[in-house]
Chains A and B, each alone.
Chain A
Amino acid sequence: MNMKKPKPGTIAAYLVLSLFSIVMLFPFVWMLSSSLKDATQIFKLKLFPDAPTLDNYRYILFSESSKFPRWFLNSAIVAVCTTVSVLFFDSLLGYTLSKYRFPGKNIIFMLIVSTLMIPTEMLVIPWYAMARSLKWVNTYWGIMFPGMISAFGVFLMRQFMQTIPDDLIDAARVDGRGEFMIFLTVVLPLVTPALATLAIFNFIGNWNAFLWPLIAASKPRMFTLPVGLANFSGEAGSDWHYIMTGAAVAMAPLVAVFLLFQKQIVRGIAMTGLKG
């Protein structure tokens, strides 16, 4: 094998891709740069602030009048609880729909998958009517209930469950274990990669969700981060240095999740795409 010189085409590809990376990254860089400027510096359009300061972060995260810590907590509660629920119910559903035989199985599966066709926008009005009459407005449950089970997750988990050999399950039955225990102790450990993917996507989705939390939470102390951020610019003008800091704070956990689990995320995206 001889060493190949890079072809001009390859060099051009690198060049285009690098330029494109700048376009993709610049908004993040500008956000961070703006978040390090104070109320007067913010209006000087310099990439590197003259006197970078962490005061904005101190204000957003620790000051008494800032509601961000509370919104952060709300977002975390909503994202974690829905994710735990989705993991449990979706894998149970996926398992039942792939490994059990019973009348109506296909109809039930079709019914669940057909709900994927109904976008959230269609449902917020009846959900709101429901939440209002059941007094769920401004409660965590009110924000979370539509996301407790995900039809897409059922579809995904069912595909995965089908790869589990029936022998394993039958062997556990012979051991005399209960059906639910088999699901918990035999089946779930076998699908952990799929669970991880589902967990990451569900967490991201719920952390970023906007339309329903905007409707379900009307009191500022029940806002999630995106809703709080959207309401941040008020009648007393727009404090851009705080808005940019708030945006950075809202993104931080996701960027962390992303960097930690990038392989799973990329695999997850590719998987969902290729399934179609």
Chain B
Amino acid sequence: MKARKGLIFTVLIFLAVVAAGAQTVTITYWQYFYESKVKLVDELIKKFEAANPGIKVEQVTFPYESFNQKVAASIPAGEGPDVITLFYGWLPMYVKGGYLQELPPAEFNKAYFDKTYYPFVAESVDFGGKYYSAPTAVRTLALIWNKKLFKEAGYDPNTPPRTLEELVTYAKKLSKFDAQGNLVQSGLLMQPSGQGHSWLREVLFRQFGNLPYSADYRKVSYADANGVAAFKWYTDLITKDKVGYPNFATDDVTAFKAGKGAMNIDGSFRIATLNAVKDLEWGVAELPSYKGIKSNYASYWTHGIVSGTKGKKLEASIKFLKYLTSPEVQELWLERVGELPATPALSEKYKNDPVVQPFLKGLAYAKASLFVDEAGQRTVFVDMIDEVVLKKADPAAVLKAAAAKEQAIIDNFWK
């Protein structure tokens, strides 16, 4: 009898193994197209599939500009992904639209997030105690500069400006003009549609003594005297000092890569892009401070599971999501993409890395804006800067109108 039981047992195990092998689950993973990230995830998928036989992952990417629209159009129709990486600023919209499902609370609860992530991450993924997503990496802003152009202007290529006052001095000296007075080399690239709007929103406003939003980000409050001063300081760089202007040489990244811009405010995700440019020597520094005040803007992309995913696919998706947020991947992400580990402890060993360090320092005091409509709120900033730069409008009036416009977007979302 025993032998027979054993035989049945063996057969059952054998059948189970065969069944598992035959029943391959394929899950679809979406992220926006950013070359270094896409390449890395391709490798991660290979590793993940090797470790988890029976699960196949298909990566699909879309251009940044159309990512949101593809997602919103596909998920309700049930033709979207299982696991998706989205910008944290889109979370409220996704959660409200019912696109994401709650992650299993047994594992993904307040205790877990508080223990694993930076406080600003734990706060911004919390939707009334429910958690819909978890990130791998976070990003902050820093000042990057072109060492060759510093040398040309007679500056020490290893000493960047430390304060906003110094920044203006440097930017002026690093700007070059042709005989007609057209800017041909930008001292400081001014690209509101890139990182410029975040620099103004979370850094400059605060440095000039303004609180741009209420704590829950439902009240816009940057249109006071200090806010106007910060806004004027930013637009003066374009209109008075003429050290740069929006879309100079197509955009800030193109200009910096081409050596047409001496300094830029950019994010840690750009490290891989800039390292790939031949003959470009560049440095990174903490964002310049003002009157002793430091501030920074942090943001992150975060992974969620779409509401329609069920059964075996859901199990596989949770496994994949856990893998993507694992310490191993977080470190690879820093190495290959340049984004910082979302778990503070993991960055310890990079404390002295000259490229990573300035970004890490910023993380300590960074704020992550809570967007309800990231594209819409970004457009408000881009347009208000254009109004002053291109239409010579009065900064105070423009800022007031913009604040009202952004308030309307926020109110419309929460009503």
A236 to B79, Cβ gap below 8 A? Answer: no
On whether the beta carbons of B254 and A238 are closer than 8 Å, the reply is yes
**With A43-B258, A132-B77 in contact, do A236 and B65 touch (Cβ < 8 Å)?**
no
Instruction: Mark each residue of chain A from 205 to 235: 1 if its CB lies under 8 Å from any CB of chain B, else 0.
Output: 0000000000000111000000000010111
Interface residues of B in 37-96 (CB under 8 A from A): 60-66, 70, 73-74, 77, 79
Contact B33 A234 (CB under 8 A): yes
- Please measure, in the bound complex, the distance between the C-alpha atom of A65 and the C-alpha atom of B66, giving whole angstroms: 20
Contacts A43-B258, A235-B34 given; does A135 touch B79 at CB 8 Å: yes
Bin the interface of chain A by size: 20 to 34
Q: Does B250 count as interface, using CB distance less than 8 angstroms?
A: yes
Question: Min CB distance, A137 to chain B, in Å?
Answer: 7
Is the beta-carbon distance between A237 and B66 smaller than 8 angstroms? no
Quick check: is A88 within 8 A (CB to CB) of the other chain?
A: no
Contacts A135-B79, A220-B33 given; indicate if A238 touches B60 (C-beta within 8 A).
no
Residues in chain B near residue A238, CB distance under 8 A? 250-251, 254
- Residues A240 and B250 in contact, CB atoms below 8 Å apart: yes
Contact with A along B240-276 (1 / 0, CB 8 A): 0000000000110110111010000000000001000
- B65, B253, B258, B277: the one contacting A231 at CB < 8 Å is B65
Residues in A neighbouring B257, C-beta threshold 8 A: 39, 237
B63 and A234 within 8 A (CB): yes
Could you say which of A133, A135, A219, A237 contacts B62, with CB atoms under 8 Å apart? A219
Q: Which one of A40, A233, A236, A239 has the greatest number of beta carbons of chain B within 10 Å?
A: A236
Do the beta carbons of B77 and A218 come within 8 Å of each other?
A: no
Residues of B within 8 A of A133 (CB): 77
State whether the Cβ of B35 lies closer than 8 Å to any Cβ in chain A: yes
**Smallest CB separation, B195 vs chain A (Å):** 11
Q: A219-B60, A220-B61, A231-B63 are in contact. Are A237 and B77 (CB under 8 A)?
A: no
Chain A residues with CB under 8 A of B60: 219
Q: Within B292-338, which residues are at the interface with A (CB < 8 Å)?
A: none
Compute the total of residue contacts between A and B using a CB distance below 8 Å: 57
Q: A126-159: contact bitstring with B at CB < 8 Å (1 yes, 0 no)?
A: 0000001101010000000000000000000000
Determine which of A43, A233, A236 lies in contact with B35 in the assembled complex, contact meaning CB atoms within 8 Å: A236
CA distance A236 to B35 in the complex (A): 9
Distance of A22 from chain B, by nearest CB (Å): 25
- How many of chain B's residues have a CB under 8 angstroms from any CB in A? 28
Distance in angstroms between the alpha carbons of A77 and B63 in the assembled complex: 23
Q: Mark A198-209, 1 if CB is under 8 A from B, else 0.
A: 000000000000
Q: Identify A237's interface contact among B64, B70, B79, B253, CB under 8 A.
A: B253
A218 to B72, CA, bound (A): 12
Which residues of A are found within 8 Å of B254, using beta-carbon distances?
A: 237-240
Complex Cα spacing A275 to B62, Å: 44
B260: nearest residue on chain A (CB-CB)? Answer: A43
- Interchain CB contact under 8 A, B251 and A236: no
Interface centre among A39, A135, A219, A237, by most chain B C-beta atoms within 10 angstroms, is A237
Cα A231 to Cα B67 in complex, Å, equals: 11
Closest B residue to A128 by beta carbon equals B73
**Whole-angstrom distance from the CB of A136 to the nearest CB of chain B?**
10
B residues near A220, Cβ cutoff 8 Å? 33, 61-63
Q: Which residue of A lies closest to B250 (CB)?
A: A238
Q: Which residue of A lies closest to B276 (CB)?
A: A236
Contact in complex: B34, A218 (CB < 8 Å): no
A225-259 contacts to B (CB < 8 Å):
231, 233-240
A90–B103 CA distance with the chains assembled, in angstroms: 55
**Is A218 a contact of B33 with CB atoms below 8 Å?**
no
With the chains together, A135 CA to B32 CA distance in Å?
A: 22
The distance in angstroms between the C-alpha atoms of A239 and B64, with both chains bound, is 16
Contact of A234 with B260 in the complex, beta carbons under 8 Å: no
Beta-carbon contact of A218 and B70 below 8 Å = yes
Q: How far is the CA of A9 from the CA of B105 in the complex (A)?
A: 86
Give the contacts of A171-191 with B (CB-CB under 8 A): none
Which parts of A5-54 form the interface with B (CB within 8 Å)? Answer: 39-40, 43
Binding site for A on B (CB under 8 A): 32-35, 60-66, 70, 73-74, 77, 79, 250-251, 253-254, 256-258, 260, 273, 277-279
22 inter-chain pairs at a CB distance below 8 angstroms, sorted by A residue, are A39-B277, A40-B279, A43-B260, A65-B35, A132-B79, A137-B74, A218-B70, A218-B74, A220-B33, A220-B61, A220-B62, A231-B63, A234-B63, A235-B32, A235-B34, A235-B64, A237-B251, A237-B254, A237-B256, A237-B257, A239-B254, A240-B254
Other than the known A43-B258, A231-B63, what 15 A-B pairs have Cβ atoms closer than 8 Å?
A39-B258, A40-B279, A65-B35, A132-B77, A218-B74, A219-B60, A219-B62, A220-B33, A220-B62, A220-B63, A234-B34, A236-B35, A237-B254, A239-B254, A240-B254
The 3 closest A-B pairs by CB, nearest first: A237-B253, A237-B254, A218-B70
